[in-house]
Structure 1
Amino acid sequence: MQRSLRATVLLLIGGLALTACGSGSTDKPAAGGKVTITVTGQPPKTQSVERKLFDQDVAEFEASHPDIHIEPHEGFMDPKTFSAKLAGGQLEDVYYVYFTDPATIIARRQAADITDQVKDLPVLKQLQQPLIDIFKDRNGRIYGLPTANYSMGLLYNRALFTKAGLDPDQPPATWDEVRADAKKIAALGGDTVGFADLSKNNQGGWHLVTWTYAMGSQVARQDGDKWVADFNNDKVKGALRLLHDMRWTDNTMGAKQLLEATDVQQMMGSGKLGMYLAAPDNVPVLVKQFNGRYEDYGVAAMPGGQGTLLGGEGYMVNPKASPDKIKAGLAWIQWKYLNPDRIETRIKQYLAEQQPIGLPAIPTPDIWTGDVKAKQNALKAQYANVPAKNFQSYLDGNGTLRGNLEPPNAQQIYAVLDGVMQAVLTNKDANVDQLLTDAEGKVNSALAQVK
């Protein structure tokens, strides 16, 4: 649903030769022997630190790769305009994608096959294999590279946990514990809320999908060549009844509903909310935008031990790019986003800008395995300026959870499921069985549009 914080891990390929596959383009190198490539991913000027570091990277890359000129473009992925940009020759040579997009892009042949160029990269073996698989077709050919990922967990207020007599170093690991802890936090009185959830602007549907995965269910499954809804079951009904009971029986979710992300962030930042479902990238938002303190927050793995929503991003190459542009584009992706040798450099850059070190995925993404992962963790611990122990249960728990991507045609599905969340949280007499049955038909209509 939301883009994760920008990945900043880099891969130095030095003099690695990248042999290019054929493409439909016959673009020639620019004057002076330079190849110019357009790339997405430049942060907007409103994100001053991220923009500054991105532009510094462009300058450094060009200095070390004098035969390549980078023309950065602001922005990331807009599925509504993607195909039109490609058809009109306006799509960048190197473009950003959410994890939900590669399968469709590959099926439509809207990305270059880069298998032969990257198959021998040693670092490929250090990336998490499920993330690489997102960019493969059914024959195992590779069309892109992952550069960042996140998974949803339970963000909680350590200060309120302590005040309610709970151990902030032992966050709830089951949904029964979540419910019990929410009662104790709400019992503090005033306008303190134990647990909150989202229910509008497609964010409610996004969170219901998260609940679905957390209960060990799926939202949709493939049936032959088509997708069908797969959430009208006892597991998802159990999640909705839990939310209903927390809202109406326990009164731990507060009277104000129809919330979105900024609402719960403001509640958490003001010290009035105990828990909500989120990824760790919410923590800097709480501090920078809502006057929170890093030491007051923790993130735990998704309770229940079943699964969670996995998201992330990567980069693919325009299928119309010339061999020289493909080679240059891959050099940029690997140098900028997948460089173990520059992990420490990136951490020091963030320290110099007074940015947090010690949070999961910030400023370097958790996409690695093996030696690179160990190196990254050690460097984060060495330079940590926020209490990294507050997020250890999130890191430990995610190792055993099943990560699930967003469903196809996600936004239409979220719009449908918004209504389910709204009904449960605003109508004490909501009929969960009927809500899911009605939603199933509408989601099947949305899935029927998936090609």
Structure 2
Amino acid sequence: MGSNRIRRVSAVALAAATALAAAACGSSGSGSGSGDAGGVVTISVNGLPPATQTVDRKNFEDDVKAFEASHPNIRIDAHEGLMDPKTFAAKLAGGQLEDVYYVYFTDPAGLIQRHQAADITPYLKDVPALADVKPELQRVFTGKDGKVYGLPTGNYSMGLVYNRELFTRAGLDPDKPPTTWDEVRTAAQRITALGDGTTGYADFSKNNQGGWHLTAWIYSLGGDVATQDGTGRWKAAVDSDASRKALQYLHDMRWTDNSMGSRQLLEIPDVQKAMGAGKLGMYLAGPDNIPTIVKQFERKYDEYGLAAMPGTATLGGGDGFMFNPKDTPAKIKAGLAWVQWKYLNPDRQEETDKKSAGSDIPIGLPQPDLFDGKSGEAVKAVHAKYANVPQQNYRPFVDRSAEVKVKVEPPNAQQIYTVLDGVMQAVLTKQDANVDDLLKDAQKKVDSILATAQ
């Protein structure tokens, strides 16, 4: 969910040369055939940036050429587009699903349960970097049977993006941002008191984004939106003390402190616009919101800081790649070689950062952060060497990361977020909203949604 993910649509061939190579090798663009000819394996993959993203697309195309040069027995047939749950089943049934396909962290559990992904466990010995991938990320792609069905290639967790200049003007230390919701509330009051239409804190409440953020609030205060019992069945956990605390904070900032402004029913573009105009103090977001604001509103990276989520936990997510259940062993091996080489390759980090250093691609943001151990240390050292963003502004996020547990989204997240949108909207638009009634109603609706996730 949310601003941290770029959704791309449609499928096109990578380039004429790649397409001709694929045709010569007999690729069908799906997992239905071996794609082998003369010892060459052709695999279709998605994730190719659209032509409008000129730098990213050229980098991708260059990577394909370099990979094929170093892997002469593998050809890449790259398609635009990422995961679209609405068309996924039809593409799989019709033989149009790529051999290696992109997913969000919310997808793997259901895909594994429905047998819509290949078991790649026997081939993981060929992915040495996997030993340093953060275990909590790899668990997303692990089934209840203990088998592995995919690899993570990106991750994010929500924190607090804030305007350092407004913090300074309000007498707050921009190097010591809030670590609790009480401190957030106090800071929001002081920033709002600056006047000139400045708002201390803003939050989303429509188009499923309100439910997404409310889930993060609940996590931060020790609660859950859904839990599993001993049999693995999911049950709603919305009606809780943590949810009440979250909604009470939102109510008080909105109605008692007036530090959230009078305009509500906001979504991502509204809040980013306010931050880009220098009129907003804080909002919940992942690190990648900062370059979006800088580029879209012609701001400077020095203006923004990033703090860890207040409280003890945060909502996180990410992406990765899974494999068509019709893939042959040769295709799985080729796909693993591609994913590892392009996305899970600490040895290529310097080449990647050096190539991006002269562009507007940010280097040195604290996420994605895929690796522990020696791989993690190596990647961070390279980022520090080529950083073109002020990494010191993100220390509050990095320094508290070990204290803030990252929890993934609940099953059927988008349907649940629709329900929780209504809760957020009521609290932020009705001063006398009955929180108990809202949560009891949401509990019943979420239970009904989760009944379909069993």
TM range (shorter): over 0.9
User: What is the number of residues matched between the two proteins?
Assistant: 430
Please name the residue that 1:110 is paired with: 116
1:385-400 alignment runs, 5 A limit: 385-400=388-403
Contact kept, 8 Å, 2:31 with 2:99, in 1: the verdict is no
Residues 1:422 and 2:425 are matched in the alignment: yes
In structure 2, C-alpha distance between the alignment counterparts of 1:429 and 1:3, rounded to whole Å: 31
Structure 1 residue 165 displacement after superposition: 1.0
Residues 1:249 and 2:245 are matched in the alignment: no
Change (3 A) 1:28 1:219: closer
Larger RCO (CA within 8 A; separation ≥ 6): 1
Higher mean C-alpha deviation, range 276-285 or range 388-397? 388-397
Please name the residue that 1:19 is paired with: none
Structure 1 residue 30 displacement after superposition: 4.3
1:27-106 alignment runs, 5 A limit: 27-106=33-112
Q: Deviations over 1:77-112 (max 9, x none)?
A: 111211221111111000011111111111111111
Please name the residue that 1:176 is paired with: 182
Q: Which runs of 4+ in 1 moved over 6 A?
A: none
Residues 1:237 and 2:252 are matched in the alignment: no
Residues 1:272 and 2:275 are matched in the alignment: no
Please name the residue that 1:374 is paired with: 377
Which TM-score applies when normalising by structure 1?
A: 0.92
Please name the residue that 2:411 is paired with: 408
Which of 323, 331, 338 pairs up with 1:325? 331
Q: Which amino acid aligns with 2:163?
A: N
Structure 1 residue 292 displacement after superposition: 1.9
The alignment partner of 2:101 has SS state of strand
Please name the residue that 1:295 is paired with: 302
Change (3 A) 1:25 1:345: closer
Which of 201, 209, 213 pairs up with 2:207? 201
Contact kept, 8 Å, 1:5 with 1:281, in 2: the verdict is no
Q: Deviations over 1:299-358 (max 9, x none)?
A: 100012x10001001111111011221111111111110001101111112113232222
Please name the residue that 2:11 is paired with: none
Change (3 A) 1:3 1:76: farther
The alignment partner of 1:378 has SS state of helix
In structure 2, C-alpha distance between the alignment counterparts of 1:157 and 1:292, rounded to whole Å: 11
Please name the residue that 2:26 is paired with: none
Contact kept, 8 Å, 1:3 with 1:98, in 2: the verdict is no
The alignment partner of 1:394 has SS state of helix
Please name the residue that 2:173 is paired with: 167
Please name the residue that 1:143 is paired with: 149
In structure 1, C-alpha distance between the alignment counterparts of 2:226 and 2:201, rounded to whole Å: 27
Contact kept, 8 Å, 1:197 with 1:276, in 2: the verdict is yes
Which TM-score applies when normalising by structure 2?
A: 0.92
Contact kept, 8 Å, 1:310 with 1:405, in 2: the verdict is yes
Contact kept, 8 Å, 1:149 with 1:310, in 2: the verdict is yes
Structure 1 residue 296 displacement after superposition: 0.5
In structure 2, C-alpha distance between the alignment counterparts of 1:142 and 1:28, rounded to whole Å: 22
Q: Deviations over 1:251-310 (max 9, x none)?
A: 000011100000000000110000000000000000111222100101100012x10001
In structure 1, C-alpha distance between the alignment counterparts of 2:333 and 2:63, rounded to whole Å: 18
User: Could you list the runs of 5+ residues in structure 1 that have no partner in the other structure?
Assistant: 7-23
In structure 1, C-alpha distance between the alignment counterparts of 2:122 and 2:279, rounded to whole Å: 54
In structure 1, C-alpha distance between the alignment counterparts of 2:377 and 2:342, rounded to whole Å: 20
In structure 1, C-alpha distance between the alignment counterparts of 2:77 and 2:126, rounded to whole Å: 28
Please name the residue that 2:23 is paired with: none
The alignment partner of 2:299 has SS state of coil
Contact kept, 8 Å, 1:4 with 1:149, in 2: the verdict is no
The alignment partner of 1:300 has SS state of strand
Q: Deviations over 1:57-85 (max 9, x none)?
A: 11111111111111111111111211221
Structure 1 residue 130 displacement after superposition: 1.0
In structure 2, C-alpha distance between the alignment counterparts of 1:175 and 1:128, rounded to whole Å: 28
The alignment partner of 1:71 has SS state of strand
Contact kept, 8 Å, 2:32 with 2:95, in 1: the verdict is no
Change (3 A) 1:60 1:120: closer
Which of 120, 133, 138 pairs up with 1:127? 133
In structure 2, C-alpha distance between the alignment counterparts of 1:259 and 1:205, rounded to whole Å: 12
Residues 1:435 and 2:402 are matched in the alignment: no
Change (3 A) 1:187 1:230: same
In structure 2, C-alpha distance between the alignment counterparts of 1:30 and 1:114, rounded to whole Å: 19
In structure 1, C-alpha distance between the alignment counterparts of 2:191 and 2:260, rounded to whole Å: 10
Q: Which amino acid aligns with 1:298?
A: G
In structure 2, C-alpha distance between the alignment counterparts of 1:5 and 1:274, rounded to whole Å: 23
Contact kept, 8 Å, 1:161 with 1:185, in 2: the verdict is yes
Q: Which amino acid aligns with 1:237?
A: R
Higher mean C-alpha deviation, range 208-217 or range 114-123? 114-123
Structure 1 residue 225 displacement after superposition: 4.4
Structure 1 residue 3 displacement after superposition: 6.7
The alignment partner of 2:261 has SS state of coil
Contact kept, 8 Å, 1:3 with 1:312, in 2: the verdict is no
Which of 345, 348, 351 pairs up with 2:351? 345
